[in-house]
Amino acid sequence: MDRIGFTHLLPNIGSCYSCFKKEQCLAKRLPSNDVEGLSTLVSNNIKYRSGDYIYRQGDTSQNIFIVKSGATKSLVNSVEGNEQVIGFHFAGEVLGFDALDTNQHASSVIALENSIICGFSRQLIDKLCATDATFQKELIARFSCEIVRDYQLLMLINKKTAEQRGAIFLLELLARMGYSRGQVIYLDLVMSRADIASYLGLVPETVSRVLSKFERMGMLVVKKKKLQIVDNELLVNYSNDHSLQQLPETNEIEDTAIPLARLY
Amino acid sequence: MDRIGFTHLLPNIGSCYSCFKKEQCLAKRLPSNDVEGLSTLVSNNIKYRSGDYIYRQGDTSQNIFIVKSGATKSLVNSVEGNEQVIGFHFAGEVLGFDALDTNQHASSVIALENSIICGFSRQLIDKLCATDATFQKELIARFSCEIVRDYQLLMLINKKTAEQRGAIFLLELLARMGYSRGQVIYLDLVMSRADIASYLGLVPETVSRVLSKFERMGMLVVKKKKLQIVDNELLVNYSNDHSLQQLPETNEIEDTAIPLARLY
DNA sequence: CGACTGTTTGAGACGCCTCAACAGATGTGG
DNA sequence: CCACATCTGTTGAGGCGTCTCAAACAGTCG
Protein backbone atom coordinates (compact mmCIF):
# COMPACT_ATOMS: atom_id res chain seq x y z
CA MET A 1 0.00 0.00 0.00
CA ASP A 2 2.50 2.57 -1.16
CA ARG A 3 0.55 5.76 -1.40
CA ILE A 4 3.26 7.83 -2.97
CA GLY A 5 4.62 5.21 -5.25
CA PHE A 6 8.31 5.12 -4.58
CA THR A 7 8.91 5.00 -0.87
CA HIS A 8 10.96 1.87 -1.36
CA LEU A 9 13.55 3.90 -3.20
CA LEU A 10 14.36 5.96 -0.14
CA PRO A 11 17.04 5.31 2.38
CA ASN A 12 15.68 4.98 5.89
CA ILE A 13 17.72 7.87 7.13
CA GLY A 14 18.39 10.77 4.82
CA SER A 15 19.16 14.41 5.14
CA CYS A 16 16.53 17.08 4.62
CA TYR A 17 18.61 18.29 1.73
CA SER A 18 17.94 15.20 -0.30
CA CYS A 19 14.38 14.72 0.92
CA PHE A 20 12.06 14.14 -2.02
CA LYS A 21 9.25 15.79 -0.07
CA LYS A 22 11.00 18.96 0.92
CA GLU A 23 8.74 21.04 -1.29
CA GLN A 24 5.78 19.97 0.84
CA CYS A 25 7.67 20.26 4.09
CA LEU A 26 7.16 22.90 6.67
CA ALA A 27 10.80 23.86 6.15
CA LYS A 28 10.68 23.70 2.39
CA ARG A 29 12.24 27.03 1.70
CA LEU A 30 15.23 26.80 3.95
CA PRO A 31 18.43 27.75 2.24
CA SER A 32 20.01 24.50 1.25
CA ASN A 33 23.26 25.17 3.01
CA ASP A 34 21.42 25.34 6.30
CA VAL A 35 19.32 22.30 5.74
CA GLU A 36 22.14 19.87 6.04
CA GLY A 37 23.12 21.12 9.46
CA LEU A 38 19.57 21.17 10.68
CA SER A 39 19.03 17.55 9.97
CA THR A 40 20.70 16.78 13.26
CA LEU A 41 17.73 18.37 14.95
CA VAL A 42 15.22 16.45 12.90
CA SER A 43 14.23 12.84 13.36
CA ASN A 44 14.28 11.82 9.75
CA ASN A 45 12.16 9.18 8.17
CA ILE A 46 11.02 7.33 11.23
CA LYS A 47 9.05 4.27 10.24
CA TYR A 48 5.83 3.46 11.98
CA ARG A 49 3.80 0.34 11.52
CA SER A 50 0.05 0.34 11.30
CA GLY A 51 -1.31 0.80 14.81
CA ASP A 52 1.82 2.42 16.23
CA TYR A 53 1.46 5.56 18.26
CA ILE A 54 3.33 8.61 17.00
CA TYR A 55 2.56 10.24 20.31
CA ARG A 56 0.07 9.78 23.08
CA GLN A 57 -2.31 12.16 24.75
CA GLY A 58 -0.57 13.48 27.84
CA ASP A 59 2.93 12.91 26.50
CA THR A 60 5.27 15.63 27.64
CA SER A 61 6.93 16.97 24.54
CA GLN A 62 6.71 19.83 22.12
CA ASN A 63 7.74 17.96 19.05
CA ILE A 64 5.82 18.37 15.86
CA PHE A 65 5.71 15.78 13.12
CA ILE A 66 5.30 15.75 9.39
CA VAL A 67 3.78 12.81 7.60
CA LYS A 68 6.04 11.91 4.73
CA SER A 69 4.13 8.88 3.55
CA GLY A 70 1.28 6.82 4.89
CA ALA A 71 -1.66 7.97 6.96
CA THR A 72 -2.52 8.60 10.58
CA LYS A 73 -5.50 9.39 12.73
CA SER A 74 -5.57 11.67 15.72
CA LEU A 75 -7.95 11.15 18.60
CA VAL A 76 -8.86 12.56 21.96
CA ASN A 77 -9.82 10.57 25.03
CA SER A 78 -12.19 12.10 27.50
CA VAL A 79 -11.98 11.51 31.23
CA GLU A 80 -14.86 9.06 31.00
CA GLY A 81 -12.91 6.93 28.58
CA ASN A 82 -14.78 7.97 25.48
CA GLU A 83 -12.58 8.39 22.50
CA GLN A 84 -13.12 10.55 19.47
CA VAL A 85 -11.23 10.67 16.22
CA ILE A 86 -10.61 14.30 15.37
CA GLY A 87 -8.63 14.01 12.18
CA PHE A 88 -6.97 11.95 9.50
CA HIS A 89 -3.58 12.99 8.22
CA PHE A 90 -1.85 12.17 4.97
CA ALA A 91 1.48 12.94 3.36
CA GLY A 92 2.65 16.51 3.83
CA GLU A 93 0.49 17.23 6.85
CA VAL A 94 1.74 18.45 10.20
CA LEU A 95 0.95 16.85 13.56
CA GLY A 96 1.45 17.98 17.10
CA PHE A 97 0.23 21.55 17.20
CA ASP A 98 -1.64 20.74 20.38
CA ALA A 99 1.36 20.64 22.71
CA LEU A 100 3.05 23.94 22.00
CA ASP A 101 1.27 25.75 24.78
CA THR A 102 0.93 23.29 27.61
CA ASN A 103 3.92 21.09 26.78
CA GLN A 104 1.52 18.15 26.80
CA HIS A 105 -0.21 16.63 23.83
CA ALA A 106 -3.96 16.97 24.01
CA SER A 107 -4.47 14.18 21.53
CA SER A 108 -2.94 10.91 20.42
CA VAL A 109 -1.84 10.06 16.91
CA ILE A 110 -1.84 6.52 15.55
CA ALA A 111 -0.57 5.25 12.21
CA LEU A 112 -3.35 3.83 10.07
CA GLU A 113 -0.91 2.08 7.79
CA ASN A 114 2.85 1.77 7.60
CA SER A 115 4.05 5.34 7.52
CA ILE A 116 7.19 7.41 7.41
CA ILE A 117 7.20 10.48 9.58
CA CYS A 118 9.73 13.20 10.37
CA GLY A 119 9.89 14.94 13.72
CA PHE A 120 10.90 18.50 14.57
CA SER A 121 11.96 19.26 18.10
CA ARG A 122 10.73 22.42 19.76
CA GLN A 123 14.33 23.52 19.83
CA LEU A 124 14.44 23.31 16.06
CA ILE A 125 11.13 25.08 15.65
CA ASP A 126 12.32 27.97 17.76
CA LYS A 127 15.62 28.12 15.97
CA LEU A 128 13.97 28.16 12.58
CA CYS A 129 11.43 30.73 13.66
CA ALA A 130 14.19 32.97 14.93
CA THR A 131 16.30 32.76 11.80
CA ASP A 132 13.87 32.23 8.97
CA ALA A 133 10.88 34.45 8.41
CA THR A 134 9.60 32.16 5.70
CA PHE A 135 9.50 29.18 7.99
CA GLN A 136 7.85 31.27 10.63
CA LYS A 137 5.12 32.36 8.26
CA GLU A 138 4.64 28.86 7.02
CA LEU A 139 4.23 27.63 10.57
CA ILE A 140 1.66 30.30 11.29
CA ALA A 141 -0.16 29.41 8.08
CA ARG A 142 -0.29 25.74 9.06
CA PHE A 143 -1.61 26.65 12.46
CA SER A 144 -4.28 28.80 10.95
CA CYS A 145 -5.19 26.10 8.48
CA GLU A 146 -5.59 23.61 11.28
CA ILE A 147 -7.94 25.93 13.11
CA VAL A 148 -10.07 26.42 10.03
CA ARG A 149 -10.17 22.66 9.59
CA ASP A 150 -11.42 22.29 13.14
CA TYR A 151 -14.14 24.82 12.46
CA GLN A 152 -15.23 22.83 9.46
CA LEU A 153 -15.34 19.63 11.45
CA LEU A 154 -17.47 21.36 14.04
CA MET A 155 -19.87 22.48 11.36
CA LEU A 156 -19.93 18.98 10.00
CA ILE A 157 -20.84 17.30 13.25
CA ASN A 158 -23.35 19.89 14.27
CA LYS A 159 -26.76 19.75 12.70
CA LYS A 160 -26.05 17.57 9.72
CA THR A 161 -27.77 14.30 9.02
CA ALA A 162 -25.80 11.09 8.95
CA GLU A 163 -26.08 10.99 5.17
CA GLN A 164 -24.78 14.50 4.78
CA ARG A 165 -21.86 13.70 7.03
CA GLY A 166 -21.06 10.64 5.02
CA ALA A 167 -21.20 12.51 1.73
CA ILE A 168 -19.13 15.40 3.02
CA PHE A 169 -16.58 13.03 4.47
CA LEU A 170 -16.13 11.29 1.14
CA LEU A 171 -15.90 14.55 -0.75
CA GLU A 172 -13.32 15.86 1.69
CA LEU A 173 -11.29 12.73 1.23
CA LEU A 174 -11.53 13.00 -2.54
CA ALA A 175 -10.43 16.61 -2.44
CA ARG A 176 -7.45 15.80 -0.26
CA MET A 177 -6.46 12.98 -2.57
CA GLY A 178 -6.36 15.48 -5.37
CA TYR A 179 -9.30 14.19 -7.32
CA SER A 180 -11.52 16.62 -9.11
CA ARG A 181 -15.15 16.20 -9.97
CA GLY A 182 -16.60 14.23 -12.79
CA GLN A 183 -14.17 11.35 -12.84
CA VAL A 184 -14.95 7.77 -12.04
CA ILE A 185 -12.51 7.25 -9.27
CA TYR A 186 -11.39 4.74 -6.75
CA LEU A 187 -10.99 5.67 -3.14
CA ASP A 188 -9.02 3.70 -0.62
CA LEU A 189 -10.30 4.06 2.90
CA VAL A 190 -7.35 3.52 5.18
CA MET A 191 -9.49 3.90 8.28
CA SER A 192 -12.07 1.58 9.78
CA ARG A 193 -15.79 2.20 9.84
CA ALA A 194 -15.44 2.82 13.55
CA ASP A 195 -12.85 5.53 12.87
CA ILE A 196 -15.10 7.18 10.32
CA ALA A 197 -18.03 6.95 12.68
CA SER A 198 -16.11 8.48 15.54
CA TYR A 199 -14.84 11.26 13.32
CA LEU A 200 -18.35 12.04 12.10
CA GLY A 201 -20.02 11.78 15.46
CA LEU A 202 -21.90 8.61 14.59
CA VAL A 203 -21.76 4.90 15.42
CA PRO A 204 -20.24 2.36 13.04
CA GLU A 205 -23.62 0.85 12.24
CA THR A 206 -24.88 4.17 10.96
CA VAL A 207 -21.84 4.66 8.76
CA SER A 208 -22.39 1.23 7.34
CA ARG A 209 -26.02 2.00 6.65
CA VAL A 210 -25.17 5.26 4.95
CA LEU A 211 -22.62 3.62 2.68
CA SER A 212 -25.08 0.86 1.87
CA LYS A 213 -27.72 3.38 0.99
CA PHE A 214 -25.31 5.31 -1.21
CA GLU A 215 -24.51 2.07 -2.96
CA ARG A 216 -28.20 1.20 -3.48
CA MET A 217 -28.62 4.66 -4.99
CA GLY A 218 -25.90 3.98 -7.50
CA MET A 219 -23.72 6.69 -6.08
CA LEU A 220 -20.80 4.43 -5.38
CA VAL A 221 -19.70 0.83 -5.05
CA VAL A 222 -18.47 -0.41 -1.70
CA LYS A 223 -16.07 -3.27 -1.40
CA LYS A 224 -14.62 -3.44 2.07
CA LYS A 225 -12.29 -0.51 2.34
CA LYS A 226 -12.22 0.17 -1.36
CA LEU A 227 -14.75 2.51 -2.84
CA GLN A 228 -15.55 3.34 -6.40
CA ILE A 229 -17.24 6.68 -6.75
CA VAL A 230 -19.67 6.36 -9.61
CA ASP A 231 -21.77 9.46 -9.43
CA ASN A 232 -19.84 12.34 -8.01
CA GLU A 233 -22.54 14.89 -8.71
CA LEU A 234 -25.04 12.90 -6.71
CA LEU A 235 -22.57 12.83 -3.85
CA VAL A 236 -22.21 16.60 -4.01
CA ASN A 237 -25.96 16.92 -4.11
CA TYR A 238 -26.30 14.76 -1.04
CA SER A 239 -23.70 16.71 0.88
CA ASN A 240 -25.94 19.74 0.70
CA ASP A 241 -29.17 20.12 2.51
CA HIS A 242 -31.41 17.84 0.50
CA SER A 243 -34.49 18.07 2.62
CA LEU A 244 -36.30 19.94 -0.12
CA GLN A 245 -34.84 18.15 -3.07
CA GLN A 246 -35.03 14.56 -1.93
CA LEU A 247 -33.79 12.32 -4.69
CA PRO A 248 -35.52 9.01 -5.29
CA GLU A 249 -33.70 5.99 -4.00
CA THR A 250 -33.60 2.71 -5.88
CA ASN A 251 -37.30 2.31 -6.38
CA GLU A 252 -37.79 -0.79 -8.44
CA ILE A 253 -38.20 -3.66 -6.06
CA GLU A 254 -39.75 -2.08 -3.01
CA ASP A 255 -41.21 1.33 -3.42
CA THR A 256 -42.33 3.01 -6.61
CA ALA A 257 -45.10 4.91 -4.92
CA ILE A 258 -43.13 6.30 -2.03
CA PRO A 259 -40.81 8.60 -3.95
CA LEU A 260 -43.78 10.08 -5.75
CA ALA A 261 -45.35 10.88 -2.47
CA ARG A 262 -42.13 12.51 -1.41
CA LEU A 263 -41.80 14.66 -4.45
CA TYR A 264 -43.73 17.57 -3.08
CA MET B 1 -22.23 45.99 32.55
CA ASP B 2 -18.62 46.81 33.23
CA ARG B 3 -16.95 43.44 33.51
CA ILE B 4 -13.58 44.73 34.62
CA GLY B 5 -14.73 47.46 36.87
CA PHE B 6 -12.86 50.51 35.72
CA THR B 7 -13.19 50.78 31.98
CA HIS B 8 -14.57 54.25 32.42
CA LEU B 9 -11.24 55.42 33.70
CA LEU B 10 -9.53 54.68 30.42
CA PRO B 11 -8.89 57.09 27.64
CA ASN B 12 -10.35 55.95 24.34
CA ILE B 13 -6.99 55.98 22.67
CA GLY B 14 -3.93 55.11 24.64
CA SER B 15 -0.52 53.73 23.98
CA CYS B 16 0.35 50.13 24.65
CA TYR B 17 2.85 51.41 27.15
CA SER B 18 0.18 52.68 29.47
CA CYS B 19 -2.27 49.89 28.77
CA PHE B 20 -3.61 48.49 31.99
CA LYS B 21 -4.01 45.12 30.31
CA LYS B 22 -0.56 44.74 28.90
CA GLU B 23 0.23 41.88 31.22
CA GLN B 24 -2.51 39.86 29.56
CA CYS B 25 -1.68 41.06 26.10
CA LEU B 26 -0.09 38.98 23.43
CA ALA B 27 2.71 41.55 23.42
CA LYS B 28 3.01 41.77 27.17
CA ARG B 29 6.71 41.27 27.40
CA LEU B 30 7.81 43.75 24.80
CA PRO B 31 10.53 46.03 26.02
CA SER B 32 8.82 49.20 27.04
CA ASN B 33 10.89 51.43 24.82
CA ASP B 34 9.62 49.53 21.79
CA VAL B 35 6.03 49.50 22.82
CA GLU B 36 5.49 53.17 22.32
CA GLY B 37 6.59 53.04 18.72
CA LEU B 38 4.56 49.98 17.98
CA SER B 39 1.36 51.57 19.01
CA THR B 40 1.20 53.16 15.59
CA LEU B 41 0.72 49.68 14.18
CA VAL B 42 -1.96 48.79 16.67
CA SER B 43 -5.55 49.92 16.60
CA ASN B 44 -5.92 50.77 20.23
CA ASN B 45 -9.04 50.57 22.25
CA ILE B 46 -11.60 50.41 19.51
CA LYS B 47 -15.06 50.53 20.99
CA TYR B 48 -17.70 48.16 19.72
CA ARG B 49 -21.32 48.22 20.67
CA SER B 50 -23.31 45.11 21.40
CA GLY B 51 -24.10 43.47 18.08
CA ASP B 52 -21.28 45.10 16.13
CA TYR B 53 -19.13 42.94 13.95
CA ILE B 54 -15.41 42.91 14.74
CA TYR B 55 -14.91 41.12 11.45
CA ARG B 56 -17.01 39.10 9.05
CA GLN B 57 -16.52 35.69 7.55
CA GLY B 58 -14.90 36.20 4.18
CA ASP B 59 -13.31 39.52 5.08
CA THR B 60 -9.94 39.91 3.46
CA SER B 61 -7.52 40.77 6.20
CA GLN B 62 -4.95 39.18 8.43
CA ASN B 63 -5.52 41.29 11.45
CA ILE B 64 -5.80 39.70 14.82
CA PHE B 65 -7.64 41.22 17.74
CA ILE B 66 -7.40 41.16 21.48
CA VAL B 67 -10.43 41.63 23.66
CA LYS B 68 -9.58 44.22 26.25
CA SER B 69 -12.95 44.37 27.90
CA GLY B 70 -16.38 43.02 27.12
CA ALA B 71 -17.27 39.79 25.36
CA THR B 72 -17.70 38.49 21.84
CA LYS B 73 -18.95 35.42 20.05
CA SER B 74 -17.48 33.90 16.93
CA LEU B 75 -19.57 32.00 14.45
CA VAL B 76 -19.34 30.23 11.14
CA ASN B 77 -21.93 30.31 8.39
CA SER B 78 -22.26 27.31 6.14
CA VAL B 79 -23.12 27.54 2.48
CA GLU B 80 -26.68 26.49 3.24
CA GLY B 81 -27.09 29.45 5.52
CA ASN B 82 -26.81 27.57 8.77
CA GLU B 83 -24.88 29.39 11.40
CA GLN B 84 -22.99 27.98 14.31
CA VAL B 85 -21.42 29.71 17.26
CA ILE B 86 -17.96 28.28 17.77
CA GLY B 87 -16.71 30.31 20.67
CA PHE B 88 -17.17 33.02 23.26
CA HIS B 89 -14.33 35.36 24.01
CA PHE B 90 -13.62 37.48 27.05
CA ALA B 91 -10.99 39.94 28.15
CA GLY B 92 -7.46 38.93 27.27
CA GLU B 93 -8.41 36.52 24.52
CA VAL B 94 -7.17 36.67 20.96
CA LEU B 95 -9.38 36.64 17.86
CA GLY B 96 -8.64 36.17 14.20
CA PHE B 97 -6.33 33.19 14.01
CA ASP B 98 -8.43 31.85 11.18
CA ALA B 99 -7.22 34.25 8.48
CA LEU B 100 -3.47 33.89 8.73
CA ASP B 101 -3.29 31.22 6.10
CA THR B 102 -5.91 32.08 3.50
CA ASN B 103 -6.02 35.82 4.10
CA GLN B 104 -9.75 35.44 4.59
CA HIS B 105 -11.55 35.06 7.85
CA ALA B 106 -13.32 31.72 8.15
CA SER B 107 -15.57 33.02 10.89
CA SER B 108 -17.32 36.16 12.02
CA VAL B 109 -16.97 37.80 15.39
CA ILE B 110 -19.72 39.85 16.99
CA ALA B 111 -19.66 41.83 20.21
CA LEU B 112 -22.05 40.44 22.81
CA GLU B 113 -21.89 43.59 24.85
CA ASN B 114 -20.12 46.91 24.57
CA SER B 115 -16.49 45.97 24.26
CA ILE B 116 -13.06 47.46 23.81
CA ILE B 117 -10.79 45.63 21.44
CA CYS B 118 -7.27 46.19 20.11
CA GLY B 119 -6.18 45.12 16.66
CA PHE B 120 -2.78 43.95 15.43
CA SER B 121 -2.05 44.16 11.74
CA ARG B 122 -0.31 41.29 10.03
CA GLN B 123 2.52 43.67 9.43
CA LEU B 124 2.92 44.17 13.14
CA ILE B 125 2.65 40.46 13.87
CA ASP B 126 5.43 39.71 11.44
CA LYS B 127 7.56 42.51 12.75
CA LEU B 128 7.16 41.36 16.32
CA CYS B 129 7.79 37.75 15.39
CA ALA B 130 10.98 38.73 13.62
CA THR B 131 12.32 40.82 16.45
CA ASP B 132 10.97 39.30 19.61
CA ALA B 133 11.27 35.61 20.37
CA THR B 134 9.05 36.01 23.39
CA PHE B 135 6.22 37.40 21.36
CA GLN B 136 6.69 34.68 18.81
CA LYS B 137 6.45 31.98 21.43
CA GLU B 138 3.46 33.61 22.99
CA LEU B 139 1.73 33.67 19.60
CA ILE B 140 2.47 29.99 19.04
CA ALA B 141 1.18 29.21 22.52
CA ARG B 142 -2.07 31.05 21.81
CA PHE B 143 -2.46 29.20 18.57
CA SER B 144 -1.91 25.90 20.26
CA CYS B 145 -4.32 26.81 23.02
CA GLU B 146 -6.98 27.64 20.45
CA ILE B 147 -6.55 24.26 18.80
CA VAL B 148 -6.88 22.44 22.09
CA ARG B 149 -10.01 24.47 22.80
CA ASP B 150 -11.46 23.37 19.49
CA TYR B 151 -10.73 19.75 20.35
CA GLN B 152 -12.58 20.16 23.60
CA LEU B 153 -15.56 21.68 21.86
CA LEU B 154 -15.61 18.77 19.45
CA MET B 155 -15.61 16.34 22.36
CA LEU B 156 -18.37 18.33 23.95
CA ILE B 157 -20.69 18.24 20.98
CA ASN B 158 -20.02 14.66 20.12
CA LYS B 159 -21.79 11.99 22.13
CA LYS B 160 -22.82 14.01 25.11
CA THR B 161 -26.37 14.44 26.26
CA ALA B 162 -27.98 17.85 26.31
CA GLU B 163 -27.70 17.94 30.08
CA GLN B 164 -24.02 17.11 30.05
CA ARG B 165 -23.41 19.82 27.50
CA GLY B 166 -25.27 22.31 29.62
CA ALA B 167 -23.35 21.39 32.75
CA ILE B 168 -20.00 21.42 30.99
CA PHE B 169 -20.79 24.76 29.41
CA LEU B 170 -21.54 26.32 32.76
CA LEU B 171 -18.44 24.84 34.36
CA GLU B 172 -16.29 26.09 31.52
CA LEU B 173 -17.75 29.54 31.94
CA LEU B 174 -17.15 29.44 35.67
CA ALA B 175 -13.56 28.37 35.16
CA ARG B 176 -12.92 31.15 32.68
CA MET B 177 -14.41 33.67 35.04
CA GLY B 178 -11.92 32.57 37.64
CA TYR B 179 -14.29 30.96 40.04
CA SER B 180 -13.23 27.89 41.91
CA ARG B 181 -15.43 25.17 43.28
CA GLY B 182 -17.44 25.24 46.40
CA GLN B 183 -18.53 28.83 46.32
CA VAL B 184 -22.03 30.10 45.88
CA ILE B 185 -21.51 32.24 42.88
CA TYR B 186 -23.32 34.39 40.43
CA LEU B 187 -22.84 33.98 36.74
CA ASP B 188 -23.76 36.54 34.16
CA LEU B 189 -24.61 35.03 30.81
CA VAL B 190 -23.80 37.63 28.21
CA MET B 191 -25.05 35.45 25.39
CA SER B 192 -28.58 34.49 24.43
CA ARG B 193 -30.08 31.05 24.77
CA ALA B 194 -29.85 30.73 21.03
CA ASP B 195 -26.13 31.44 21.16
CA ILE B 196 -25.62 28.82 23.85
CA ALA B 197 -27.70 26.34 21.92
CA SER B 198 -25.78 26.90 18.72
CA TYR B 199 -22.49 26.58 20.57
CA LEU B 200 -23.57 23.31 22.16
CA GLY B 201 -25.15 21.84 19.07
CA LEU B 202 -28.67 22.09 20.42
CA VAL B 203 -31.78 24.20 19.86
CA PRO B 204 -32.77 27.02 22.20
CA GLU B 205 -35.74 25.10 23.52
CA THR B 206 -33.50 22.32 24.73
CA VAL B 207 -31.16 24.74 26.48
CA SER B 208 -34.12 26.27 28.19
CA ARG B 209 -35.34 22.86 29.28
CA VAL B 210 -31.94 21.89 30.63
CA LEU B 211 -31.62 25.06 32.65
CA SER B 212 -35.12 24.60 33.97
CA LYS B 213 -34.35 21.06 35.00
CA PHE B 214 -31.14 22.14 36.73
CA GLU B 215 -33.16 24.71 38.59
CA ARG B 216 -35.79 22.17 39.64
CA MET B 217 -32.98 20.00 40.95
CA GLY B 218 -31.73 22.81 43.13
CA MET B 219 -28.48 23.02 41.24
CA LEU B 220 -28.88 26.66 40.34
CA VAL B 221 -31.30 29.52 40.13
CA VAL B 222 -32.12 31.00 36.75
CA LYS B 223 -33.23 34.56 36.37
CA LYS B 224 -33.08 35.62 32.73
CA LYS B 225 -29.41 35.93 31.95
CA LYS B 226 -28.32 35.86 35.54
CA LEU B 227 -27.54 32.57 37.18
CA GLN B 228 -26.80 31.68 40.73
CA ILE B 229 -24.89 28.46 41.07
CA VAL B 230 -26.08 26.82 44.23
CA ASP B 231 -24.63 23.34 44.08
CA ASN B 232 -21.38 23.27 42.21
CA GLU B 233 -20.64 19.65 43.05
CA LEU B 234 -23.90 18.54 41.54
CA LEU B 235 -23.03 20.45 38.42
CA VAL B 236 -19.70 18.67 38.24
CA ASN B 237 -21.45 15.39 38.80
CA TYR B 238 -23.84 16.09 35.97
CA SER B 239 -21.09 17.04 33.60
CA ASN B 240 -19.77 13.51 33.83
CA ASP B 241 -21.46 10.50 32.45
CA HIS B 242 -24.27 10.01 34.90
CA SER B 243 -26.00 7.17 33.16
CA LEU B 244 -25.06 4.79 35.95
CA GLN B 245 -25.50 7.16 38.82
CA GLN B 246 -28.68 8.91 37.86
CA LEU B 247 -29.64 11.24 40.63
CA PRO B 248 -33.26 11.51 41.59
CA GLU B 249 -34.97 14.54 40.19
CA THR B 250 -37.61 16.42 42.10
CA ASN B 251 -40.04 13.65 42.88
CA GLU B 252 -42.18 15.27 45.49
CA ILE B 253 -44.35 18.22 44.71
CA GLU B 254 -41.69 20.88 44.53
CA ASP B 255 -38.70 21.06 46.81
CA THR B 256 -37.94 20.96 50.51
CA ALA B 257 -36.90 17.34 50.47
CA ILE B 258 -34.69 17.63 47.42
CA PRO B 259 -31.56 19.05 48.96
CA LEU B 260 -31.70 16.42 51.68
CA ALA B 261 -32.08 13.66 49.16
CA ARG B 262 -29.03 14.93 47.39
CA LEU B 263 -26.81 14.94 50.41
CA TYR B 264 -25.41 11.48 49.87
C1' DC C 1 -10.26 -25.36 12.13
C1' DG C 2 -11.98 -22.20 15.80
C1' DA C 3 -11.40 -17.56 18.03
C1' DC C 4 -11.52 -12.91 17.02
C1' DT C 5 -12.22 -8.52 14.83
C1' DG C 6 -14.68 -5.76 11.59
C1' DT C 7 -18.83 -5.11 8.96
C1' DT C 8 -23.62 -5.48 7.72
C1' DT C 9 -28.50 -5.66 8.63
C1' DG C 10 -32.73 -5.57 11.37
C1' DA C 11 -36.00 -4.21 15.25
C1' DG C 12 -37.04 -1.35 18.86
C1' DA C 13 -36.12 2.50 22.16
C1' DC C 14 -35.09 7.07 23.32
C1' DG C 15 -33.42 11.76 23.10
C1' DC C 16 -33.66 15.78 20.80
C1' DC C 17 -35.95 18.45 17.24
C1' DT C 18 -40.06 20.46 15.28
C1' DC C 19 -44.05 22.89 15.71
C1' DA C 20 -47.06 25.54 18.39
C1' DA C 21 -48.75 28.52 22.01
C1' DC C 22 -47.79 31.71 25.41
C1' DA C 23 -45.46 34.93 28.67
C1' DG C 24 -42.28 38.58 29.53
C1' DA C 25 -39.21 42.14 28.11
C1' DT C 26 -38.00 45.76 24.95
C1' DG C 27 -38.66 49.34 21.70
C1' DT C 28 -41.46 52.52 18.86
C1' DG C 29 -44.67 55.96 17.70
C1' DG C 30 -48.69 58.40 18.56
C1' DC D 1 -48.41 57.34 28.96
C1' DC D 2 -50.34 53.47 26.45
C1' DA D 3 -51.05 50.42 22.26
C1' DC D 4 -48.64 47.68 19.40
C1' DA D 5 -45.05 45.03 17.29
C1' DT D 6 -40.98 42.47 17.90
C1' DC D 7 -37.82 39.61 20.11
C1' DT D 8 -36.39 36.33 23.65
C1' DG D 9 -37.40 32.75 26.54
C1' DT D 10 -40.41 28.99 28.39
C1' DT D 11 -43.30 24.95 28.20
C1' DG D 12 -45.91 21.15 26.01
C1' DA D 13 -47.05 17.45 22.48
C1' DG D 14 -45.65 14.66 18.92
C1' DG D 15 -42.43 12.97 15.28
C1' DC D 16 -38.13 11.36 13.57
C1' DG D 17 -33.31 10.15 13.27
C1' DT D 18 -29.89 7.94 15.36
C1' DC D 19 -28.44 4.84 19.02
C1' DT D 20 -28.79 0.43 21.29
C1' DC D 21 -29.05 -4.25 21.21
C1' DA D 22 -28.88 -8.43 18.75
C1' DA D 23 -27.72 -11.63 15.19
C1' DA D 24 -25.33 -13.18 11.25
C1' DC D 25 -21.50 -13.04 8.07
C1' DA D 26 -16.74 -12.29 6.20
C1' DG D 27 -11.90 -11.99 6.78
C1' DT D 28 -7.77 -12.73 9.48
C1' DC D 29 -4.76 -14.99 12.49
C1' DG D 30 -3.32 -18.29 15.54
Rounded percentage of chain B residues whose pLDDT exceeds 70: 78
* Nearest alpha-carbon partner for A35 in A141, A131, A137: A131
Distance CA(B229)–CA(B221), nearest Å, equals: 7
Tens of pLDDT, residues A93-150: 999 999 999 999 999 999 999 999 999 999 889 988 988 888 999 999 999 999 999 9
Task: Tell me B229's DSSP state.
Answer: E
Q: Does any CB of chain B come closer than 8 Å to the CB of residue A84?
A: yes
Is pLDDT of B1 > 60?
no
* Nearest alpha-carbon partner for B13 in B55, B59, B95, B68: B68
Confidence (pLDDT) at A88: 97
Answer for the pair A22, A16: CB distance below 8 angstroms, yes or no. yes
Answer for the pair B86, B108: CB distance below 8 angstroms, yes or no. no
Confidence (pLDDT) at B4: 32
Confidence (pLDDT) at A14: 54
Interface size, chain A vs chain B, as Cβ–Cβ contacts under 8 Å: 135
Is pLDDT of A259 > 50?
no
Answer for the pair B50, B111: CB distance below 8 angstroms, yes or no. yes
Confidence (pLDDT) at A80: 82
Is pLDDT of B102 > 80?
yes
Is pLDDT of B227 > 70?
yes
Confidence (pLDDT) at A184: 67
Confidence (pLDDT) at B43: 80
Tens of pLDDT, residues A7-24: 333 333 456 777 778 788
Count other Cβ atoms within 10 Å, centred on residue B233. 11
Tens of pLDDT, residues A243-256: 444 444 443 333 32
Tens of pLDDT, residues A216-238: 999 999 998 999 999 988 999 89
Radius of gyration of the CA atoms of chain B, in A: 21
Tell me what the mean pLDDT of segment A169-177 comes to.
92
Q: Does any CB of chain B come closer than 8 Å to the CB of residue A103?
A: no
Best residue of B124, B159, B237, B245 to probe chain A, by most A CBs closer than 10 Å: B159
Protein-contacted positions of strand C (CB under 7 Å): 6-11, 15-20, 25
Tell me what the mean pLDDT of segment A68-91 comes to.
93
Residues for chain B: how many in total?
Answer: 264
**Which of chain B's residues have a Cβ under 8 Å away from the Cβ of A155?**
76, 78, 82, 84
Give the closest-approach CA distance of A138 to chain B in angstroms. Answer: 8
Name the least confident of A39-48, A153-162, B46-55, B162-171. Answer: A39-48
Sheet strands side by side (includes B42-48):
B42-48, B115-120, B64-69, B94-95
Confidence (pLDDT) at A65: 95
Rounded percentage of chain A residues whose pLDDT exceeds 90: 57
